[in-house]
C-alpha cells in the first residue's frame, strides 16, 4: 500500500477487503468536515473523489477541489475541473482512426531519428472492436463457414491493420511501426 498519500479534509480512509487493507477517499468524511455534498448529483461526487485521489498540488490543487466542494447548480462558475481519467474506452469507429494517427506520428518521429515509443497514450486505453455481422447465407449446412468467409473478405483491411498494430515495434519487417 502506498505511503504518504495526501489527506485533505481528513478524507483518506482505510477499509479491510478480504484481509487486504485498501485506502480510499471518503466523501462522508467531507460531510463531517462541514461540506454539504449529499445534495450534489452523482457526477459531481465522482469528480470530487477523482480530484481527491489525484491531488498533487500542481495539476490538481486544493483550490480546484474547494471550487467543486462549493458547487452551486444555480451559479456553476466558469472554472475548469482538472479531471484525470484512469482509463479510456474507445469504440472502433473512433479508436481505429486514433490508432492510425498514432501510427503516423510514430512513423514521422522515427524518420527524424527519435524513438517512436515516445508517442504513446498517457492513459491506458482499451479498443473495442464491435460491428454487425451480416448473414448472407442461412438454412444450409455451410452457412456459418460462408458467412465467416465473407466477413473476413469485407473487413480484411481493418483486420490486417489491427493485427499489424499488435506486432512489437520494429519486428514487422516493413518500414511501418506497430503501436503495441
| pLDDT tens per residue, range 38-80 | 999 999 999 999 999 999 999 999 999 999 999 998 988 788 8
Q: Which of 37, 32, 34 is nearest to 49 (CA)?
A: 37
Q: What is the pLDDT of residue 2?
A: 55
Q: What is the pLDDT of residue 108?
A: 94
Q: What is the pLDDT of residue 18?
A: 94
Q: What is the pLDDT of residue 157?
A: 86
Amino acid at each position: 500500500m502506498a505511503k504518504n498519500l495526501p489527506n485533505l479534509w481528513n478524507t483518506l480512509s482505510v477499509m479491510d477487503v478480504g484481509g487486504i487493507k485498501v485506502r480510499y477517499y471518503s466523501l462522508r468524511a467531507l460531510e463531517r468536515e462541514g461540506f454539504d455534498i449529499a445534495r450534489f448529483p452523482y457526477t459531481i461526487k465522482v469528480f470530487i473523489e477523482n480530484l481527491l485521489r489525484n491531488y498533487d498540488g500542481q495539476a490538481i490543487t486544493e483550490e480546484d477541489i474547494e471550487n467543486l466542494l462549493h458547487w452551486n447548480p444555480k451559479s456553476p462558475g466558469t472554472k475548469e475541473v482538472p479531471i484525470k481519467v484512469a482509463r479510456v474506452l474507445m469504440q472502433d469507429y473512433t479508436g481505429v482512426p486514433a490508432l492510425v494517427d498514432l501510427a503516423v506520428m510514430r512513423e514521422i518521429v522515427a524518420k527524424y531519428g527519435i524513438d517512436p515509443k515516445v508517442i504513446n497514450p498517457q492513459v491506458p486505453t482499451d479498443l473495442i472492436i464491435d460491428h454487425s455481422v451480416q448473414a448472407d447465407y442461412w438454412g444450409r449446412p455451410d452457412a456459418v463457414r460462408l458467412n465467416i468467409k465473407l466477413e473476413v473478405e469485407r473487413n480484411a483491411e481493418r483486420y490486417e491493420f489491427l493485427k499489424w498494430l499488435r506486432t512489437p515495434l520494429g519486428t514487422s519487417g516493413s518500414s511501418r511501426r506497430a503501436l503495441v
